[in-house]
Amino acid sequence: MTPNSPSAPSRRRFLASSVVVAAAVGGGMPLLTACGGGSGGSKNEGATTGKKLKDILPAYVPSKAVTPDIPSRNGSADGFTTALPADQLAVSVPKKLGKGSEISIMAPLWGTSPGEGNAYWTAMDEAAGVKVKWQNQDGNVYGQKLGAVLASSAVPDAVVVPGWELGGKIPSAIANKFADLGPYLSGDKVKAYPNLAAIPTGAWQRGIFAGQLRGLPMPAEATPNITPFYRADIFEEKGYEVPTTTQEFYDLCKEINAPKSKVWACSDMTWSAWVFFGVLPEKPYYWKLVDGKLVNRYETPEYLEALEWSRSLYSAGFVHPDAKAETGDMRTTFSSGNVLMYNADISDWYAATAVQRLDKPDFRMGAMDFFAHDGGDPVIYEAAPSNIWCFVSKKADKQTIEDILALANFTAAPYGSKEQRLRAYGLEGTHHTLKDGVLVKNEQGNNEVFATYEYVATSKPYRAYPDYPDVAKGVIEWQQRQGAHLKKPLFHGMQIQEPNRYTELNAQFEALEKDIVRGRKKVSDMQQQVSDWRTKGGDKLRDWYKKLLDETGESAS
């Protein structure tokens, strides 16, 4: 009865690709200068702020191990275009911290598990001084597995929870089933784990659930992960201009669209439209202050405008039918030239290029700069500093917790270190080779070395593509250009738990958004739903947030 991946909500599939590459905020996080502390309601509701927050957060000691080729700016990642030979790599974990505990870890996996006892896992365990028993679950339906596992009495020692799976009662599970890591990490204690101490403060703040530091973070860039891509090679060949207004975008689509020769202008562009029209982010950062009153994302005119515009692309027939049906893999459709524009996680830039250049050396894609729909500077809301966390079971004993932290310290090693090389590329000779500064994974490398260990914790965000330096440069420069327009949403960076009775209030919106852009429902249906939302609890939720805002102050400054 397990549904297969095509059924998974698209947001999950969308974000899924983002975790393939580690990432995080650039510069330090602004310290919260909030007044008050905590907020009303039950013990799990609200957000942790003020002095209590300061007491909980680990100290920040930036790593000096490596210098990036393109340093972070405007909230971008650090960029790396080169790979050092193994003997020149920095050592970030001089002494093995693990004491050999056996640790069970449940984590999502997008791919096929390499199976126990493979050379990569063995080498990682050996180097970190632990013995991990992986419980990998299909990432596309991870939320469904997660709910069941957390409800059972057999919670693994460590569990990875992505931010987009925090719906329903999962926050209650986090508060009830997972340990407080504060006694091991708060303040200067984190210095026992130098790589964890180098994780930016903002990423840690999002790991505070129900008043305690529970999540080991996977930091993310402040710039948006959703990127509007276009086929730079084809654009050049045909003389298409990259659009700078939504009207230009529409006109360009008209020019490109040729279903008869199997070319559609674009995929679903709703995610980009949110930025073109300056729409607020998703829960819990979905409020803005207008004349002292909180207004929700769903109530803003720009939300409806973005839907209307996305809908116009569908009704004009510019959108590929597979995107309409939400089947197939758009990255492949884009790579084969059946659509010329699509939006996806920024890691697709490398993922698509690496595959295509094997037999099409001229393949080039680019990311268009976000623009305001009428051509001005865009309003880009800053992304949360971390959105995937690894939690430790409440039942784990002290030794197990310390060994999990030892492992996290190992996996959070920065790019350019011996530890990171092992985690990201496996063993030299067995999984990869390094020739003329180019790291190449072999077949065994591709089958065994992929995202598993990094979910435990990663360093501050970086993008390292030594095999395609042009991609690394393109990605970082795009992030830095977008970063110039960043704006912090209200409550930015806080981990907010809404009261239980409101957690499902907005559950129906995504489906209706899809219905509207695809022409199955009218924009006015959304207005109806918004007024339902208000009466069913939206207005009460607004009051709740207002109270929270009064207590915490505006973090957006």
Partner 1 sequence: MSLSTDDRRTQGSPASPPADKDGAARGQVRVSTKVPLRHRLRRDRTLLLMTLPAMLLLLVFAYIPLAGNVVAFQDYDPYIADNAFQAIMQSPWVGLEWFQQMVNDRLFWSALGNTLTIFLLQLTLFFPVPVLLALFINSFVRPRVRAVAQAILYLPHFFSWVLVITVFQQMFGGAGLIAQTLRENGYEGFDLMTDPGLFKFLITFEMIWKDAGWGVIVFLAALASVSTELYEASAMDGANRWRRMWHVTLPALRPVVALLLVLQVGNALTVGFEQILLQRTAVGPGASEVLDTYVWNVGITNGGFSYAAAVGIVKGIFGLLLVLGANKVAHLMGEQGVYKK
Please give the residue ranges that form the binding site for partner 1 (CB under 8 A): 1, 3-4, 6-7, 9-10, 143-144, 147, 150-153, 167-170, 172-173, 176-177, 259-260, 262, 264, 320-322, 324-328, 338, 500, 503-504, 507-508, 511, 514-515, 518, 520-521
Cβ count near 53 (within 10 Å) = 23
Looking at the Cβ atoms of 6 and 115, the one nearer to partner 1 is 6
Closest distance of CB 175 from partner 1, Å:
8
453 neighbors 45 (Cβ within 8 angstroms): no
Looking at the Cβ atoms of 317 and 553, the one nearer to partner 1 is 317
Looking at the Cβ atoms of 10 and 442, the one nearer to partner 1 is 10
Helix boundaries (H) for 239-389: 246-256, 270-276, 301-315, 321-325, 330-335, 348-356
Closest distance of CB 390 from partner 1, Å:
18
Looking at the Cβ atoms of 149 and 484, the one nearer to partner 1 is 149
Phi/psi for 244 (5° steps) reads -130, 0
Amino acid identity, position 89: L
Looking at the Cβ atoms of 11 and 191, the one nearer to partner 1 is 11
CA distances to 76, 272, 375, 482 from 275, in Å: 17, 5, 12, 11
225 neighbors 475 (Cβ within 8 angstroms): no
Closest distance of CB 103 from partner 1, Å:
20
341 beta partners: 230, 266
Looking at the Cβ atoms of 72 and 506, the one nearer to partner 1 is 506
Closest distance of CB 383 from partner 1, Å:
24
Cβ count near 60 (within 10 Å) = 18
Looking at the Cβ atoms of 150 and 380, the one nearer to partner 1 is 150
Long-range contacts of 348-354 (CB under 8 A, 24+ apart): 348/17, 348/227, 348/229, 349/227, 349/229, 349/471, 349/474, 349/475, 350/21, 350/463, 350/465, 350/468, 350/471, 350/472, 350/475, 351/17, 351/20, 353/468, 353/471, 354/467, 354/468
Looking at the Cβ atoms of 146 and 413, the one nearer to partner 1 is 146
Closest distance of CB 2 from partner 1, Å:
8
152 beta partners: none
Closest distance of CB 341 from partner 1, Å:
16
Compute the residue count for the chain: 557
Closest distance of CB 185 from partner 1, Å:
24
Looking at the Cβ atoms of 35 and 151, the one nearer to partner 1 is 151
206 neighbors 384 (Cβ within 8 angstroms): yes
Strands (E) in 185-326, as ranges, are: 208-209, 212-213, 215-219, 226-230, 264-266, 287-290, 293-296
Closest distance of CB 173 from partner 1, Å:
4
Looking at the Cβ atoms of 320 and 423, the one nearer to partner 1 is 320
Closest distance of CB 509 from partner 1, Å:
12
Tell me the three state secondary structure of residue 338. Answer: coil
Going by C-alpha positions, the residue among 35, 556, 527 that lies closest to residue 287 is: 556
Closest distance of CB 314 from partner 1, Å:
10
Helix boundaries (H) for 299-457: 301-315, 321-325, 330-335, 348-356, 398-411, 418-425, 443-448
Tell me the three state secondary structure of residue 294. Answer: strand
Closest distance of CB 333 from partner 1, Å:
9
Closest distance of CB 346 from partner 1, Å:
24
Closest distance of CB 4 from partner 1, Å:
5
Measured CA to CA, the distance from residue 461 to residue 54 in angstroms comes to 23
Looking at the Cβ atoms of 194 and 328, the one nearer to partner 1 is 328
Cβ count near 151 (within 10 Å) = 11
Looking at the Cβ atoms of 140 and 480, the one nearer to partner 1 is 140
Strands (E) in 449-547, as ranges, are: 462-464, 486-487
Measured CA to CA, the distance from residue 512 to residue 517 in angstroms comes to 9
Looking at the Cβ atoms of 428 and 515, the one nearer to partner 1 is 515
Cβ count near 416 (within 10 Å) = 24
Closest distance of CB 214 from partner 1, Å:
14
Distance of CA 162 to the CA centre of its chain: 8
The DSSP secondary-structure symbol of 376 reads: S
Looking at the Cβ atoms of 316 and 507, the one nearer to partner 1 is 507
